[in-house]
Amino acid sequence: MQVTRYIERYGFRRWYERQLYESHAYLALAFIALILMLAGVEVLRTAESGMHYALVLATAASGGLGMFVAWRRFSTLLARAEHFGEAATCPGCREWGKFNVLAQESATVNDPPEAGRPHWIKVRCKKCEAEWRVE
């Protein structure tokens, strides 16, 4: 679900919390993939045949690739959540995360989370009606 649609439907606070949960799930996945990679490297020493060696090497490589991808997702999602979270305070009444979304940077549904889109959203405070850009 797109960022603005999720915020409009559930609110910024729930979006922010969900981003933190999702990013830390990727961190746990990266840790598991790291263990898979290190276990594969350890088992490489005991490989007897060429086929067994290739299979273990492929497993270790897939663990390394999985770790890299999961780490990238973790860092991107966490950075975006923190970036938006820092700018989510209303300049008028100092309320945090209580706003309606008015506009956003153009983004498509196919943009991956790594693209970090949208980079900004224009919002209006629910309490004092002040408008600002969360970027």
Phi-psi category of residue 94: left, alpha or beta, with phi > 0 → left and psi -120 to 50 → alpha: left
Burial (CB count <10 Å: 0-12, 13-18, 19+), residue 27: middle
pLDDT digits (tens, 9 = 90+) for 97-112: 999 999 887 766 666 6
**CA-based end-to-end distance of the chain:** 19
What does the pLDDT read at residue 134? 86
Q: Give the separation between CA 7 and CA 24, rounded to whole angstroms.
A: 20
What does the pLDDT read at residue 109? 64
Question: In the beta sheet, which residues pair with residue 123?
Answer: 101, 132
What does the pLDDT read at residue 107? 64
DSSP, collapsed to helix, strand or coil, labels residue 49 as coil
Helices then strands, each counted (H, E), the chain: 3, 3
What does the pLDDT read at residue 53? 86
What does the pLDDT read at residue 116? 57
Which range marks the domain in which residue 26 is found?
A: 3-134
What does the pLDDT read at residue 71? 95
Non-local (6+) Cβ contacts of 40 within 8 A are: 56, 57, 59, 60, 61, 63
Domain count, the chain: 1
pLDDT digits (tens, 9 = 90+) for 11-47: 999 999 999 999 999 999 999 999 999 988 888 888 7
pLDDT digits (tens, 9 = 90+) for 74-94: 998 999 899 899 999 999 999
pLDDT above 60 for 113: no
Neighbour count for residue 7 (Cβ, 10 Å) = 25
What does the pLDDT read at residue 75? 93
CA atoms within 13 A on the CB side of 55: 7
pLDDT above 80 for 5: yes
